[in-house]
């Protein structure tokens, strides 16, 4: 899921890059994230509808939603992280976490509409 890749069938496009649009998309397509999104928003500085001045908040939740909106991708990242936790070989754990990290970084760069 690269920044310029077309949206796969069945995966909703990314919303406008605003807190309100992101909240609406999370509520509609990944409601299991909504409570954490709102709680983090309150800790980050206030109402989640007015967090444009909190880039770290948006960066984190933009990437979280980009993955969560694609169930197959969400399951893959969860599996990589779980396998890394259970790995008895440090090199294997590192490899799995690097793959999960790469996916998370790519997801965070997904553009609105993609």
Instruction: Give me the domain span that covers residue 75.
Output: 19-108
d(CA 99, CA 73): 12
pLDDT at 87: 98
In a domain, 11, yes or no: no
**Residue 36: inside a domain:** yes
pLDDT of 52 reads 55
Q: What was the pLDDT predicted at 9?
A: 85
Contact 103, 73 (CB under 8 A): yes
Q: Give a yes or no: residue 5 inside a domain.
A: no
- Under DSSP, is residue 96 helix (H, G, I), strand (E, B) or coil? helix
pLDDT in tens, the chain (114 residues): 545 566 778 999 999 999 899 999 999 999 999 999 999 888 776 555 554 557 888 999 999 999 999 999 999 999 999 999 999 999 999 999 999 999 999 999 999 999
Q: Is residue 8 part of a domain?
A: no
Within a domain: residue 113? no
Total domains in the chain come to 1
Is 6 among the domain residues?
no
> Which residues are CB-neighbours of 26 under 8 A, at least 6 positions away?
33, 34, 37, 61, 65, 68
Q: Taking a C-beta distance cutoff of 8 angstroms, is the pair 67, 110 a contact?
A: no
């Amino acid at each position: 899921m690269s920044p310029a890749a077309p949206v796969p069938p069945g995966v909703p496009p990314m919303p406008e890059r605003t807190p309100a649009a992101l909240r609406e998309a999370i509520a509609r397509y990944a409601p299991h994230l909504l409570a954490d999104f709102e709680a983090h928003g309150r800790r980050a500085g206030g109402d989640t509808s007015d967090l444009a001045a909190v880039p770290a908040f948006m960066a984190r939740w933009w990437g979280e939603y980009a993955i969560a909106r694609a169930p197959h991708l969400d399951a893959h990242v969860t599996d990589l992280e779980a396998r890394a936790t259970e790995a008895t070989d440090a090199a294997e754990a590192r490899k799995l976490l690097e793959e999960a990290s790469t996916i998370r970084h790519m997801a965070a760069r997904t553009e609105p509409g993609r």
